[in-house]
């Protein structure tokens, strides 16, 4: 019998999050994929999950999951896992799902592997690929013993299409304990940004400490805007307070895979490469010809980013005019 693999689907504005669909596609390639959707929009979302690989969907359409942080979902999932004991529960690494995974692990005494970039079965054993310290990779194994929980890295897998698949939908009748309604979401604020989100952008222009000072980051933003891309950053300049954490790309930031990644004033530390080396084309601008970023670059420009970035922006604008 094939392995049953559950995926918890996160909802964003009533739609399944792309990161959850990526994980669902991977689950469907590994075994029998079953999805769990919790939230006011769960019933509407359930039928469309077949096209992304789900053979069955467990649904609890209740706004409590949207209005209270994590605990209601942890209660419902704990009971479900206990009843059904799937081989695996996969979750995309997001703030909310990370929290849920950790609580499920502790409450149910289950094994949890984080930051996975690939999964495969070797007989009964699950082998999980986890990047470790930049370029190194370790294979963690999960013996067949209870449900294994795995948090996967965003963009590790592509969204897969399973045309014509119609999932069986099971509507759960669960009552949510009032004790789980402890952390109420009082407000949620969308971070205003002009261009595409960093995770979805097909062009990213990133800046690092080589820009010299925070005000010079506008040179990166201007090129990103001209290319209709998104600006990104290294940890060095996020830690320096130039930009919020949401801009950070790398091992402890976001993982991106754009078609084009422009790195300006970035040395190319392994922790930064871990988040962007899957980009299709990489252009590096650095005044040190020995900078490690050039080892992953398709095109290297040795020079001053403060001079080259505005020239590039003007040229892009001129050609687009
Ligand atoms: C556990 C851990 C996790 C980490 N996670 C991350 C992470 O997620 N993301 C991340 O980015 N880093 C991460 N780091 C930090 C990482 O090791 C590097 O310190 C960081 O990436 C360096 O950022 P940088 O390239 O901006 O700065 P630097 O390494 O200081 O490089 C600046 C570069 O700019 C060049 N330069 C200087 N002036 C100019 C100019 N005028 N024009 C062109 N080039 C110029 C220099 O030659 C140099 O190569 C992590 C570190 C640790 C220990």
pLDDT digits (tens, 9 = 90+) for 7-17: 999 999 999 99
Whether 7 contacts 90, CB under 8 Å:
yes
* pLDDT (0 to 100) of residue 14: 95
Q: At 283, which helix (H) or strand (E)?
A: strand 281-286
- Which of ligand 1's atoms lies nearest the C-alpha of 292? 49
State the Cα–Cα distance between residues 24 and 34, nearest whole angstrom: 8
| Mean pLDDT along residues 233-256 | 93
Integer-rounded Cα radius of gyration of the chain = 22
pLDDT tens across 21-79, in order? 999 999 999 999 999 999 999 999 999 999 999 999 999 999 999 999 999 999 999 99
- Ligand 1: atom nearest CA of 253 is 8
Q: pLDDT tens, 114-157? A: 989 899 998 888 899 987 765 566 787 776 678 999 999 888 89
Mean pLDDT of 289-306: 97
The CATH number of 4-180 is 3.40.50.620
Q: Check: CATH 3.40.50.1220 for 203-320?
A: yes
CA distance 154 to 136: 18
ipTM computed for the complex: 0.99
4-180 and 203-320 share one CATH topology? yes
Structure tokens, 270: 């392994």
Tokens read off for 156: 């590790």
User: Residues within the annotated binding site for FAD?
Assistant: 209, 234-235, 248-252, 265-272, 286
Where along the chain do its domains lie?
4-180, 203-320
């Amino acid at each position: 019998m094939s392995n049953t693999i559950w995926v918890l689907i996160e909802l964003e504005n009533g739609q399944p999050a792309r990161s959850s669909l990526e994980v669902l596609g991977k689950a469907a390639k590994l075994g029998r994929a079953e999805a769990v959707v919790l939230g006011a929009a769960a019933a509407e979302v359930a039928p469309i999950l077949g096209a992304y690989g789900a053979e069955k969907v467990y649904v609890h359409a209740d706004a409590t999951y949207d209005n209270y942080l994590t605990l209601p979902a942890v209660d419902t999932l704990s009971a479900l896992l206990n009843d059904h004991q799937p081989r695996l529960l996969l979750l995309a690494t997001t703030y909310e799902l990370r929290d849920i995974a950790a609580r499920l692990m502790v409450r149910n005494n289950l094994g949890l592997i984080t930051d996975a970039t690939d999964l495969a079965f070797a007989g009964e054993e699950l082998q999980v690929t986890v990047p470790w310290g930049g370029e190194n990779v370790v294979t963690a194994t999960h013996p067949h013993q209870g449900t294994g929980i795995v948090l996967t890295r965003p963009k590790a897998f592509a969204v897969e299409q399973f045309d014509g698949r119609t999932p069986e939908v099971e509507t759960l009748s669960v009552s949510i304990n009032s004790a789980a309604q402890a952390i109420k979401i009082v407000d949620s604020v969308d971070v205003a940004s002009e261009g595409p989100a960093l995770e979805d952008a097909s062009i990213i222009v990133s800046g690092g400490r080589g820009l010299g000072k925070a005000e010079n980051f506008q040179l990166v933003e201007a090129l990103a805007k001209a290319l209709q891309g998104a600006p990104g950053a290294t940890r060095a300049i996020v830690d320096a307070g130039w930009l919020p954490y949401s801009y950070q790309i790398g091992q402890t930031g976001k993982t991106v895979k754009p078609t084009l990644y422009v790195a300006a004033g970035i040395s190319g530390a392994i922790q930064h490469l871990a988040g962007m080396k899957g980009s299709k084309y990489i252009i590096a601008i650095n005044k040190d010809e020995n900078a490690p970023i050039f080892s992953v670059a398709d095109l290297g420009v040795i020079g001053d980013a403060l001079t080259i970035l505005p020239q590039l922006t003007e040229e892009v604008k001129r050609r687009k005019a």
